[in-house]
Amino acid sequence: MRIFLDANVLVSVLNKEYPLYSYSSRILSLAGKKSFELFTSPVCLAIAFYFAEKKSGTERALNKIRLLVSKISIADTDRKAVMMAAQNKAVKDIEDGLEYYSAVNAGCECIISEDTGDFYFSQIEVIHSLQFLEKYLLEK
């Protein structure tokens, strides 16, 4: 399963923001597992770096980002994604549109975000971290 991680999921891990950290770190631990492939976008990484730098300083934030990008895939945010986000009249926040179309173009089946309402226009599943764990990882 290809999963796109929104910036707020990355920030919660980089800054150890509880209680979300408990769920989002578990999702990030799926990196390298055969049945899951984790993606994010350059936009999400920039946002995550900004908040990590505010909390931890530049050097530590850079080290955290380096470790993160060594574990997960980066979805392209190319001209196609930009044009799709700009042309979709349902998209009111260009950042969310860029993330969405980066996820779609990478073949992601779902987006994990704590702000699921930001993706009201999504044609793929958008789910909170805890909901993802309950739906896809916990034994039924």
User: What would the mean pLDDT of 80-84 be, rounded to a whole number?
Assistant: 95
**Cα(27)–Cα(33) distance, rounded to whole angstroms?**
11
Q: Residue 127: beta bridge partners?
A: 112
**Cα(54)–Cα(60) distance, rounded to whole angstroms?**
10
- Boundaries of every domain in the chain: 2-137
pLDDT attached to residue 32:
86
Percentage, residues of the chain above pLDDT 90: 96
Residue range 23-35, pLDDT digits in tens: 999 999 999 899 9
**Cα(43)–Cα(91) distance, rounded to whole angstroms?**
16
**CATH code, residues 2-137:** 3.40.50.1010
Residue 116 has pLDDT above 60, yes or no: yes
User: What would the mean pLDDT of 94-120 be, rounded to a whole number?
Assistant: 97
pLDDT attached to residue 139:
61
User: What would the mean pLDDT of 29-48 be, rounded to a whole number?
Assistant: 95
Residue 99 has pLDDT above 60, yes or no: yes
Residue range 124-136, pLDDT digits in tens: 999 999 999 999 9
Cα–Cα–Cα angle for 84, 120, 136, nearest 5°?
105
> What is the reported pTM?
0.95
**Cα(10)–Cα(60) distance, rounded to whole angstroms?**
15
Q: Closest by alpha carbon to 10, among 120, 95, 112?
A: 112
Residue 110 has pLDDT above 90, yes or no: yes
